Amino acid sequence: MARRLRFNGTGSGDDGCPSVHEDLDSGEVIVHGPPLTDPDDMAKLQRLAEGEVAVVVPRELLVDWAPKDSTRQARIIDLKEFGDLFRTFEHSTWRLETRRRYASDEATESYRQFVESGAAAWDPDRRYPRLIRSQTEQGKRVERVRIVDEPPTVGQLYLLDNAKHNSTFGEDIRNLSREEADRLRLPAEDFWLFDGRLVALLRFDDDDQLLDVELITEPAEVVRYSMVREAAWHHAVPHEEFAAGLDKNE
């Protein structure tokens, strides 16, 4: 079975070498870089077995990007604490949505309306719109990138309709095709990034139900998620433009 590898980071801004990857299942760390080839240097290495290759990496690569604690316990927060993050962030919050469906959406009246008629009657007086409007009116940024399959799932089309509503209270919502997300090697993770300093990782079960929220503050991990944000935001397109492109393909 192929490994589930996650790119942690690189010590180079040019060719991506040397770099660190992490096996998400075993916890093993994979480092690649230029090989050590000088015979005199090779002769000084101890316990280098047949088939093994020595690589040279800067110390900073391991300090910055190697996992810091293989036994780190996830810090799980409840939904109230998660909700409080939207009240207390100072400058910006950003979301990546990668799933093909969300069970919580399918339990709503608006989803039923959308399935039946192709449009939903969105309620602007719900708690979330009021909260986000109060934040964006202060100049704070609330942004999302939603990944969409080809063809889109019903849940993804529902969220495209939802984007028209959310944009009225200040959210900037963009979309990215699944093909482009895969090309960019974006992780199949849903998360919020608050003020570029903490991550709320949303964890789902096999039925697409939200299980819990993991709060991540480790600097190297926050930087990794920030890199995901930069790549996704750069390539994503405004939801109006994305939806128009879907209409042309029908």
Q: For residue range 90-129, list pLDDT tens digits in order.
A: 999 999 999 999 999 999 999 999 999 999 988 888 899 9
Q: What pTM was computed for the model?
A: 0.78
Q: Between the CA of residue 235 and those of 8, 46, 230, what are the distances in Å?
A: 20, 47, 9
Contact 169, 136 (CB under 8 A): yes
Gap between the Cα atoms of 121 and 194, Å rounded: 30
Would you say 153 and 100 are in contact if contact means Cβ atoms under 8 Å apart?
yes
Between CA 58 and CA 56 the distance in angstroms is: 7
Exposure on the CB side of residue 36, measured as CA atoms within 13 A? 15
Q: Give the C-alpha distances (Å, rounded to integers) separating 42 from 57, 94, 115, 117.
A: 15, 47, 66, 70
Q: What is the pLDDT of residues 50-100, one digit of tens each?
A: 888 888 888 888 777 777 665 556 799 999 999 999 999 999 999 999 999
**CA geometry: angle 137, 138, 143, nearest 5 deg:** 75
pLDDT of residue 46: 84
Alpha carbon distance 100, 151 (integer Å): 11
